[in-house]
């Protein structure tokens, strides 16, 4: 094959990223022409800030999908963990730090159990995490049938606070995404995530630590759910047993829109972050166009269809 230019090769390998960036730019230009209010810094920061919850949960989801799996328990996990966050803190400022730490550990633990279940039972991740999702939803409802507890006023700082004029949670999300991107590129375990998703049997024959990789990604997904839960409680002031219900499926959209193959082995977290921004931006633009939320749902579905139709997995058999 002839030598191709560096740019051409980059575009070919990162088609998802390029498409998302172009779409983001197009939407920004369109929005700016459409409405003066869209152009304002505060609106753009608002879009930025609103994407945080989705971005965080999609970060973990990207890792599971890179290994060729999926985590269908994220919605229930967020419901349970957000409920526990506000329920256990219950307005006591001195409990904020220990409870938040405990929630992170619990998220990691639930994720690890997902991973162990997949490795030990040899059951498809879809089924294992669906089962876990049902289990967690049941526990959440046993804990409380409605909103539970409350958080001290300064807890809201996490979601609404600003540093240097930028929303603190959104900045934290960016830093986390960059850290995970670097991890995927520079740490061995990160490289193995791609290898496991690319070829399961091959990974076994090569003696790669397949089980460890799988347990790791589901643990990470659990931690991301815990972060999302803490963020959502900070934003809404309280956790509810159905807070996370829409996140299970919503978390997959930014991942596939960002160019990660559902079959695994290809993609990355930066695409997911941009995908989350894109969805937040689309909803924002549609708001400005006075399109009701009902049609926003339709738009989201169509985006998923468009995304997956563009990045067809060429490895599927003839």
Partner 1 sequence: MSDAVHLQGTEDESNSSKLKTIASRFGIHIFLVALIVMSGIISPAFLSANNISNMLLQAAPLGIVVIGQAFVIILRGLDLSVASVMATAAVIATGLSGVNADVPAIVGVSLAIGAATGLVNGLLVTKRDVSPFLATLATMIVLQGFRFAYTQGAPSGNVPPLFRVIGSETLYGIPYNLMLLAVIAVIFTVVLSRSRFGREVYITGGNPVTARLLGINADRVTIIGYVISGVLASIAGLVLSGYVGIVDNWVGRGFELDSIVAAVMGGIALTGGRGTIIGGLVGAAILIVVFNAVLLFGMPVQLQIIIKGLVIVMAAAFYVRRSN
Partner 2 sequence: MLKLSNITKSFPGVRALSGINLEIRAGEIHALVGENGAGKSTMIKIIAGAYQPDGGEIEFDGHRLQAVTPASAKRAGIHVIYQEFVLFPHLSVAENIFLGYERTGRFGLVDHKQTRRDAVELLARLGVDIDPDRMVSELTVADQQMVEISKALVHKVKLLILDEPTAVISGREADLLFARLKALKAEGVAIIYVSHRLEEIFQIADRVTVFKDGEHVTTTEIKNVNREKLISLMVGRDLKDIFPPKRPAASFGKVVLKAEHITVEGRVKSASLELRAGEITGLAGMVGAGRTEMAMGLFGGLPVQSGTVTVDGETFTKMTPALAIEKGIGFVTEDRKGQGLAMQLDVASNITAANLSAVTKGGLIDHSQETAIAKQEIGKYRIACRGPATSVATMSGGNQQKVIVARWARTCRKVLILDEPTRGVDVGAKTEIYKIMNELAAQGIAILMISSELPEVIGMSDRVIVMREGVVSGELNGAEINEQAIMSLATQHTAA
Q: Please give the residue ranges that form the binding site for partner 2 (CB under 8 A).
A: 1, 13, 185-188, 190-191, 194-195, 198-199, 202, 204-208, 265-266, 315, 317-318
Q: Site size for partner 1, by CB under 8 A?
A: 46
Q: What character string, x for contact with partner 1 (CB under 8 A) and - otherwise, covers 258-287?
A: ----xx------------------------
Q: How far is the CB of 210 from partner 2 (least distance, A)?
A: 10
Contact indicator for 242, 79 with CB cutoff of 8 Å: yes
DSSP 8-state assignment for residue 147: -
Could you give the angle at the alpha carbon of 235 between the alpha carbons of 164 and 269, nearest 5°?
70
The burial of 83, by beta-carbon neighbours within 10 Å (0-12 exposed, 13-18 middle, 19 or more buried), is given as buried
**CA nearest neighbour of 173 among 59, 305, 292, 24:** 59
Q: Shortest approach of partner 2 to residue 188 CB, angstroms?
A: 5
119 binds, among partner 2, partner 1, none (CB under 5 to 8 A by kind): none
* E strand map for the chain: 162-163, 166-167
Where does 162-199 have alpha helices with state H?
A: 168-186, 188-198
* Contact assessment for residue 269 and residue 177, using Cβ atoms and an 8 Å cutoff: yes
Binding-site partner at residue 213 among partner 1, partner 2, none, CB < 5 to 8 Å by type: none
Name which position in 105, 127, 182, 187 contacts partner 1 (CB under 8 A): 127
Out of 91, 138, 146, 153, the residue judged to bind partner 1 by CB under 8 A? 138
Give the interface with partner 1 as residue ranges (CB under 8 A): 70, 117, 121-124, 126-128, 130-139, 141-142, 249, 252, 256, 262-263, 292-302, 304-305, 308-309, 312-313, 316-318
């Amino acid at each position: 094959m002839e030598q191709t230019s560096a740019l051409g090769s980059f575009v070919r390998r990162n088609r998802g990223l390029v498409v998302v960036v172009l779409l983001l730019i197009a939407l920004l230009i369109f929005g700016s022409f459409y409405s003066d209010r869209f152009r304002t810094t505060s609106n753009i920061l608002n879009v930025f800030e609103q994407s945080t919850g989705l971005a965080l949960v999609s970060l973990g989801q990207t890792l599971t999908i890179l290994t060729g799996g999926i985590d269908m328990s994220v919605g229930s996990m967020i419901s349970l963990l957000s409920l526990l966050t506000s329920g256990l803190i219950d307005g006591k400022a001195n409990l904020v730090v220990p409870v938040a730490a405990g929630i992170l550990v619990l998220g990691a633990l639930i994720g690890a159990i997902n991973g162990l279940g997949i490795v030990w039972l040899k059951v498809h991740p879809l089924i294992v995490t669906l089962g876990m999702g049902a289990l967690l939803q049941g526990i959440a409802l046993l804990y409380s049938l409605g909103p539970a507890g409350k958080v001290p006023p300064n807890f809201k700082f996490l979601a609404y606070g600003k540093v240097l004029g930028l929303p603190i949670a959104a900045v934290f999300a960016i830093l986390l995404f960059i850290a995970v991107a670097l991890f995927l590129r520079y740490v061995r375990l990160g490289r193995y995530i791609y290898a496991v998703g690319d070829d399961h049997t091959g990974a076994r024959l090569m003696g790669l630590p397949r089980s460890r990789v799988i347990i790791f990604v589901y643990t990470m997904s659990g931690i991301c759910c815990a972060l999302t839960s803490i963020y959502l409680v900070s934003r809404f002031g309280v956790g509810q047993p159905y807070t996370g219900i829409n996140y299970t499926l919503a978390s997959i959209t930014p991942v596939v829109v960002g160019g990660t193959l559902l079959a695994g082995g290809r993609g990355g977290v930066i695409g997911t972050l941009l995908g989350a921004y894109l969805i937040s931006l689309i909803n924002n633009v549609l708001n400005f166009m006075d399109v009701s939320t009902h049609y926003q749902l339709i738009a989201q579905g169509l985006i998923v269809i468009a995304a997956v139709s563009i990045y067809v997995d060429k490895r599927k058999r003839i």
